[in-house]
Amino acid sequence: MANGAPPSQEMQKYGAREGDQGIVRCDACPVLCRIRPGRVGACGRYANEDGLLTRSDPLVLSQRVAEAGGVMVPFQAEDAQGQEWDGRLLANAETFVTGIGSGTTYPDYKPAPFIVSSQYGGVDTVTVVTEGIFSYCGVKVKIDTDRHLGPETAPVRAAGEMVGHVTTAEYGSQMLSLGGVRHLTGGSKKEGNIACDTLLKLCSGEAVELEIEEGATVTVQADRAPIVNGHPEERMRVGCGSATVGIFAQQWHGQVDEVIVLDDHITGVLTEHQAGRCLDMPLSGIRVRGRKSTPGRYFQVAEPGSGWGGTDITDPLSIVEKIDPKTAWPGLRLLLTSTTGEDALYCVLDEELRPQQREIPAAVRKVVERIGENCEPALCSVIFMAGAGGSLRAGVTENPVHLTQSVKQALTRVTMGGAPVYIWPGGGITVMVDVTRMPENAFGYVPTPAIVAPMEFTMPKADYEALGGHAGAVVPLEQVLREQGESAKAARWRDENPWPLEQSKGGRP
């Protein structure tokens, strides 16, 4: 140090290894920035304040108000003076130390920044708190829409650079796979930086416009409606064409003679469908295009698109291949609709069996509107997925494979910013987390490029000692609150998240 003083514990925690003339070298990530006084590192997360390496964003402590008489007390929204809660620590609240703002364990030789002991439900527990630097990471984006966004495997671009691809569609939703190590580090520097920026924005709840090759332009934002080619989506379909026919068959019976529900996946034809057969509806003789799967269920009636039911159809009568004069009859009532009820056409066959458009009768309109009522709001979901690497696991224990085994055996609970994660089976610790269940600004980045995200491991203290944890680095929660309380930020605990220290049926946190 320039002033000859020994480096502070905070300096060591955040990773300062040397300094001269007030310049501090940060080794919190492989970039190893040399930061001048008053400046911040390339990631914007660490700064040089008077020759000391400090975090530019605070450690986040998540709090919930303790139980009173078996019922959780509502978190105070305002103080006695009517002022909105400003994020200061509450003395009467239970506190969980999150990894947000905690620092990393790079370059793999040191314990996690915070290894916190506490007691909950009579059990001594340890929570290992850290931030991970993830190159092997990405997001899975679920977009609730029937509309065709692009063919499977089609490149997805942000700001002109490929950042992912279209993957297999799910029921009522289109799916994108974005990021990943190949885009972050396997292509050009520009591609990596834009891929990293795209991931960071999506994980932080910001809107991102994506262009899909041979497809649509879609604006994606977690927990918001997708905007496809400039049009906000409103409804997630109630089901495929076949399911829609079956669900509402009874309500249509007696009101119409035939119903065709257009769908990019399965187009349903009521009188051929088993639901129509069970209701003893006579065949209409109206045959639709496409490949017949089973009675009343047709594949490939049209190309994918932004028309009716996620097809390229704008004129629904164009899917009618023929009308059999031996079966159909003048006056036959035909309804064509989509799986969201947003589109509907009612026709009556004239004397020459040609469909003639008529106003939709009130009773039929009511059923079409009910399709819409049963559609859920269309949303975008963003799931962050990453693998905990060696650096992160070495910060927990000197023998990292023991941590992996403990997680697989459900002896250790893994959270990200306090939010529960899904852990993939198989080797390693590969997790997925819903970014909307994490505190705000939970993610960061480093210019390698890679995403920085919080991670916490909670387990009984006895288990932590058994797996070879850094027992000498354990500090009580009270000490963390005493040392960090002034600079830390308190975040309200999200009620939908289980409390990480809560014991399971087996008596473990």
State both tokens at 19.
Answer: 């300094």
Q: Where are the beta strands (DSSP E) in 205-257?
A: 208-212, 217-220, 227-228, 231-232, 235-236
Asked whether 464 and 411 are in contact (CB, 8 A), the reply is no
Stronger pLDDT, 53 or 234, i.e. the higher one = 234
C-alpha distance from residue 261 to each of 147, 171, 194, 233, 322 (Å): 15, 16, 41, 19, 17
Question: Which residues make beta-bridge pairs with 451?
Answer: 134, 445
Task: Please name the residues in contact with 494: beta carbons below 8 A apart, sequence gap of 6 or more.
Answer: 418, 419, 437, 439
Condensed to tens digits (0 to 9), the pLDDT of residues 31-43 reads 888 888 889 998 8
Q: What are phi and psi of 436, to 5 degrees?
A: -75, -10
Within 346-505, where are the H helices? 362-373, 390-394, 400-408, 461-466, 477-484
Q: State the pLDDT confidence band at 260, using cuts at 50, 70 and 90.
A: very high
What's the rounded Cα separation, in Å, for the pair 456 and 410? 14
End-to-end CA distance of the chain: 42
Condensed to tens digits (0 to 9), the pLDDT of residues 364-412 reads 999 999 999 999 999 999 999 999 877 788 999 999 999 999 999 989 9
Cβ atoms within 10 A of the Cβ of 375, count?
19
Within 118-271, where are the H helices? 181-185, 189-203, 241-252
C-alpha distance from residue 60 to each of 11, 289, 333, 487, 509 (Å): 18, 59, 63, 9, 21
pLDDT score for 24: 86
Arithmetic mean of pLDDT over the chain: 89
pLDDT score for 191: 97
Q: In the chain, helix, strand, coil percent, each to 5?
A: 20, 35, 45
The three state secondary structure string of 305-369 is CCCHHHECCCCHHHHEEEECCCCCCCCCEEEEEECCCCCEEEEEECCCCCEEECCCCHHHHHHHH
Condensed to tens digits (0 to 9), the pLDDT of residues 316-338 reads 999 999 999 999 999 999 999 99
Condensed to tens digits (0 to 9), the pLDDT of residues 480-503 reads 999 887 888 888 899 899 998 776
Averaged pLDDT, 88-107: 83
- Among the ranges given (15-24, 224-233, 355-364, 372-381), the one the predictor scored with the smallest mean pLDDT: 15-24
